[in-house]
Structure 1
Amino acid sequence: MTRPTPPTRGEELLLARISAAAGREHLGKRRATYGVAAHRTPAHAAPVRGIRALLAFVRYGRSFAAKARADARLDLYEHGMTVAAKGRIHVVRYDTTSVFQKSTRHHPYVWGRVGTTRAYTLTDVEGKRIVLYIGPQDSDGEDGGAADWWLEIRRAVTHAQLSPALAALDAGERLTFGDVWLTRREVGWGEVSARWPEVRQIEITHGAICLDTGGSGHRRHTTGPTVSGIPNLFVFRALVEHLRTDGAHS
């Protein structure tokens, strides 16, 4: 029987730092550890658009593809997670984090085949951002190729934030998810709004929120903000389903 390889001194020191950071934020018991592709991003990083984005893609696409491998350590706990990347420990609490999702379709010459990279940007307890990636090589199978760690993060954040959000709505508060807002009575963005009994469905179409309202013969589809600008999209969708169902029965 082959014995497991003992941890190196460096690995022991890293684990001690991770455990100490998790303890300071009361994350509870460690549940799982993963190797992930990750990098830090400035808190107010401006998006690159137009020709600059194209040039950046052409110039750095291949090098990014080569680097988007498991170069960080992700530890999942009862109440949060840690990401150890490039010598820094990021601590994220499920009940306070904001998670942004973005999918990018790639040309075969970048990854060797057509595929989609999924980026998940999370805010840590200090307000800094850390980006976790799922590359095309992991994008097959159920749920769009979502990795096990992402499914667990999504479940845990929803569990931690859904009940407080519903309580806030019951207290008459208005919640915002990026440019989208909702109350117990209605949902909307900009100059668009609809009462919940009028809402047939809110879905994602071509990367944007789409509001489907009205009855048979009078249905209206209104396209709203892109999902990449909506924090905790999965919490928003859980709230929508709850409020839409309640509205249909009111």
Structure 2
Amino acid sequence: MTTPSTVKQGEPGTSVPQTVPLTQLIHLMAEYQKLGTHRQTFRAAAPTSDTFVRGCGIVAGGFVAVGAICAVVGAYPGSIAVGLLALVPASMGFFWSRRNRRNRAARLDLFESGMTVYRKGEKVAGFRWDTAEVHQRVIPFQNSAPSDYSFEMSGPGGAEATFDDTLFGDARDWGKAIQSAITATQLPRAVTAIDDGATVDFGEIGLSLEALTFRGNTFAWEQIQLIDARSGLVRMKVDGNWVSLTPVGKIPNFYIFNELAERLRQAAAEEMSAAETDDVQPPIEVSDAKAPGTDAEAPGTAEASEAAQIEQAPAEPLRTPEVTDDAVTEPTGPADTPWRKRKAGVSISSD
């Protein structure tokens, strides 16, 4: 859902238009989308934080200094040539700063149930946490410094917005807030769908209780040892071999995808471990009964015979660990039914 950036309303009996303030437009959008209580506002990043403009200024200043030295020593042609070269970075910095001035009116507002985005000359775009899709180009992991907060938002009705850390300041704050809100809101719904036997799609990748699917290929969870996305490309280790899937930026709501995939992969690994444990047979107890015809005891074996008559405690059978889910009733079908314990709702957290 989007609204015009300004709304002009004429007063009764006059032709003088009135402009609705941006703040009022944002709150009108929030009311229409039922976004709830306002939480936080992020303004456009300060121009001084633009390293590109600063770099252009430094390069242009260097050329000017060289040109001045040439003029002092009488090398006027060289001075003119260096001065012309200085115009190149100076022009680039000038046009880039004009672009930044155009974006100074940009504004990002977070609400209890959604968000709004505004850029000068565009419409106010509104998104709800329960229906929004976010594509993030680079996903920050532990022990790796995030280098890019570039978001592409989309929602019902064709609402779209693109913004990054060069447009809005405090990218770590709004980036984490948006991803956390969407994940917390939509993850339970995705878990329920998978537990009911459906396949949840994330772009070209589909997740179900049985397998991960990608471009017509099916990979059972028992085959997948690891899923990795640190290089910006989602990969998985299948039967000891790495298989490349798709760039992180093409997966909508990546954090939901990652959580579901890890839960299902680990649940399959626990099932396999439990099945292997079931196959282990308890040790056979050796009987202490005497062989026929050996009622007489050999001399000097009375003590050994008495020790043999001591009743031995039976060995305790091995126990099979189970993956349980209090919200799911265990089926009563055949014992060899596959996936009888696997549920996406099993709380197996991933780092």
**How far 1:213 sits from its partner (Å)?**
2.4
The answer to whether 1:160 aligns with 2:191 is no
Q: 2:219 aligns with which of 186, 191, 194?
A: 194
Separation (CA, whole Å) in 1 of partners of 2:167 and 2:35? 31
Q: CA RMSD in A?
A: 3.0
The corresponding residue for 1:236 is: 257
1:161 partner SS: helix
1:154 Cα deviation after fit: 0.3
Mapped to 2, the partners of 1:31 and 1:23 lie a distance apart of: 14
Query: Which position in structure 1 is the counterpart of 2:238?
Result: 213
Partner of 2:129: 94
State yes or no: 1:73 paired with 2:73.
no
Is 2:28 aligned against 1:20?
yes
**Residue equivalent to 1:43:** none
Structure 2 portions without partners, runs of 5+: 1-17, 46-91, 139-145, 272-351
The Cα shift of 1:122 comes to 0.1
Q: Distance in 1 between matches of 2:208 and 2:104?
A: 41
Bigger mean CA offset, 199-208 vs 25-34: 199-208
Task: Name which one, 1 or 2, has greater alpha-carbon Rg.
Answer: 2
TM-superposed CA distance for 1:88, in Å, is 1.9
Equivalence for 2:326: none
Work out whether 1:129 is the aligned partner of 2:160: yes
Q: CA deviation at 1:203?
A: 0.9
TM-score normalised to structure 1 length:
0.70
> For 1:156, what is the secondary structure of its paired residue?
helix
Amino acid at match of 2:258: R
**How far off is 1:71 after superposition?**
4.0
143, 150, 153: which one aligns with 1:119: 150
CA distance in 1, matches of 2:168, 2:154: 26
Distance 2:182 2:44 in 1: 19
Conservation of the 8 A alpha-carbon contact between 2:222 and 2:269: yes
**1:117·1:136 contact (CA, 8 Å) conserved in 2?**
no
1:102 shift after superposition: 1.9
Structure 1 unaligned regions, length at least 5: 1-9, 38-60, 104-114, 139-144
Matching of residue 245 in structure 1 with residue 235 in structure 2? no
Q: 1:194-239: per-residue Cα shift (whole Å, max 9, x none)? A: 222322211115321101123xxxx111011122211111111111
Taking every aligned residue pair, what percent have the same amino acid on both sides? 27
Question: In structure 2, what is the Cα distance between the partners aligned to 1:171 and 1:64?
Answer: 52
What secondary structure, in the 3-state scheme, does the structure 2 residue paired with 1:100 have? strand
